[in-house]
A and B are shown apart, each in its own frame.
Chain A
Amino acid sequence: MAQPHNAQQHNTETGVPHDAGHKGAFPPLDPNNFAPQLIWLAITFALLYWLLSKIALPRIGEVIEERRDRIQRDLDAAEALKSETERAIRDYEQSLADARTKAGGIARETREKLAQQTDNKRRDSEAQVAAKIAEAEGRIADMKANALASVSDIASETASAIVAKLIGDNVSAAEAKKHL
């Protein structure tokens, strides 16, 4: 924009500002410049508005919308997967708990059965032992009675032997027994 194109511009270019003021008017406020600028403003602005509102902006809006939808879809999918995972975990924990209670039941049953068997065996052997004890006690009692019975015989014999030794007289065992 350095070189002037006609005489009128040459004037304003070379003149000092205040001189230009009263000569061709200050260009931004010069009414001669209004019509061409307004007409071209109308043309260019209308063209730009048409291009943007019909082509550019809907396209940008579409892409942004699409991205928002896509992100929302992905988030929804992630949410669905998460709840599915949670359900699977819940199911797993449920079956784990079931298995645990079942195992507990089996263990308790087995324990009870075994305890019962042990009890039975114990009771049997106790009974056997008791019978044997009773038998042994009977034998001891017999032997005691026998022993006690022979004590008086031994005593009288011993006494007659002692007497014979002491006085040289034979005392029959029966007699000794009578004196005892």
Chain B
Amino acid sequence: MPDPIHQFEIKRIVPLDLFGLDATFTNSALFMLLAVVLIAGFLIFSMQGRSLVPTRLQSLAEMLYEFVANMVRDTMGGHSHDDGHGHSHEHGYMKFFPLVFTIFIFILTLNMLGMIPGFFTSTSHLAVTAGLALLVFVTVLIVGFAKNGLGFLNLFVPSGVPIYVLPLVVAIEIISFLSRPISHSVRLFANMLAGHITLKVFAGFIIMLLGAGGAYGVLSILPLSMATALTALEFLVAFLQAYVFAMLTCMYLNDALHPGH
């Protein structure tokens, strides 16, 4: 049976050393670089015409733009009127749009590249997802304290909680805040990892049953149909996890901008 873990192997292509750190160019780096080239190439090339009536590629790029812009607006734009913020704050959250867009399109492309047989899935490695989650976490901390000062700590003190349970609630809030980068990164990592292992295992069953020959060969139709259905599901998961990651990024950034519950 083929080893389902083999596909996650890191291959060291160009050994590099950066100030004593191991900065080897690996297959993971190759696919991240490929994603950057594809995304930037597509977004810049498709908008070459800048036409008023968009071409197919241009409208795809615009759809992606509007999709993420709406996500950012819907998650972060809702507070502008109810907590007494001034008019100038209303569109302040849009300066995080490039970050959210980059995160979304980067993860989506890495996930989708991973769906091509033989390609490496960079998002199936905890280092990559954790790096992205930590980037969001640190951004939230910096923006939160820069914008609200110590008022950012209000995030841990929900209003309307009786004083005798407040210490407990604050402790829970702090723990849940600190565990955000873990759940944020593990969710994406585990989904990609599990999906790819499952696909590989079912594909392995097909080969095993075919190899057994005779009546077993006929039975291989079962794992084949399973693998086909799972492939469709994995495409959905690849999109959904990119969406969920970007959506959570928006929500965490929203906490940084509006720490009051």
Do A and B associate with each other? yes
* Bound CA span A44–B132, Å: 12
Segment with Cβ contacts to A, from B95-103, B154-162, B247-255: B95-103
A37 and B47 within 8 A (CB)? no
A35 and B44 within 8 A (CB)? no
A37 and B52 within 8 A (CB)? no
Name the CB-closest residue of A to B106. Answer: A48
Contact (A48, B25) CB under 8 Å given A27-B8, A41-B132, A53-B102: no
Residue A113, interface by CB 8 Å = no
Residues of B near A36 (CB, < 8 A) are 10, 12, 16, 22-26, 28-29
Q: Please report which residues of chain B, range 1-22, place their CB below 8 angstroms from some CB of chain A when the two chains form the complex.
A: 3-12, 16, 18, 21-22
* Bound CA span A28–B99, Å: 25
Residue B152, interface by CB 8 Å = no
* Bound CA span A44–B107, Å: 12
Q: Please report which residues of chain A, range 11-32, place their CB below 8 angstroms from some CB of chain B when the two chains form the complex.
A: 12-17, 20, 26-30, 32
Q: Which residue in B11, B52, B122 is a CB contact (below 8 Å) of A1?
A: B11
* Contact code string A83-99 (vs B, CB < 8 Å = 1, else 0): 00000000000000000
Residues of A near B97 (CB, < 8 A) are 57
* Bound CA span A80–B57, Å: 35
Interface of B is mostly: helix
How distant is A35 from chain B, measured CB to nearest CB, in Å? 5
* Bound CA span A56–B24, Å: 29
A12 and B6 within 8 A (CB)? yes
Residues of B near A55 (CB, < 8 A) are 40, 44
How distant is A13 from chain B, measured CB to nearest CB, in Å? 5
Residues of A near B33 (CB, < 8 A) are 40, 44
Q: Which residue in A1, A37, A44, A56 is a CB contact (below 8 Å) of B7?
A: A1
How distant is A40 from chain B, measured CB to nearest CB, in Å? 3
A52 and B29 within 8 A (CB)? no
* Bound CA span A45–B25, Å: 15
Residues of A near B8 (CB, < 8 A) are 26-28
Segment with Cβ contacts to B, from A64-72, A127-135, A137-145: A64-72
Residues of A near B118 (CB, < 8 A) are 1-2
Residue A78, interface by CB 8 Å = no
* Bound CA span A169–B42, Å: 162
* Bound CA span A67–B52, Å: 6
Q: Which residue in B23, B54, B62, B102 is a CB contact (below 8 Å) of A48?
A: B102
Residues of A near B50 (CB, < 8 A) are 59, 62-63, 66
Residues of A near B47 (CB, < 8 A) are 56, 59-60, 63
* Bound CA span A35–B10, Å: 12
Q: Which residue in A33, A43, A64 is a CB contact (below 8 Å) of B125?
A: A33
Residue B135, interface by CB 8 Å = yes
* Bound CA span A59–B28, Å: 30
Residues of B near A52 (CB, < 8 A) are 39-40, 43, 98, 101-102, 105
Q: List 21 A-B contacts (CB under 8 A).
A: A1-B120, A2-B118, A9-B9, A16-B3, A26-B5, A33-B26, A35-B22, A36-B29, A37-B28, A37-B125, A40-B33, A41-B127, A45-B135, A49-B102, A51-B44, A57-B97, A60-B62, A63-B47, A63-B62, A64-B62, A64-B66
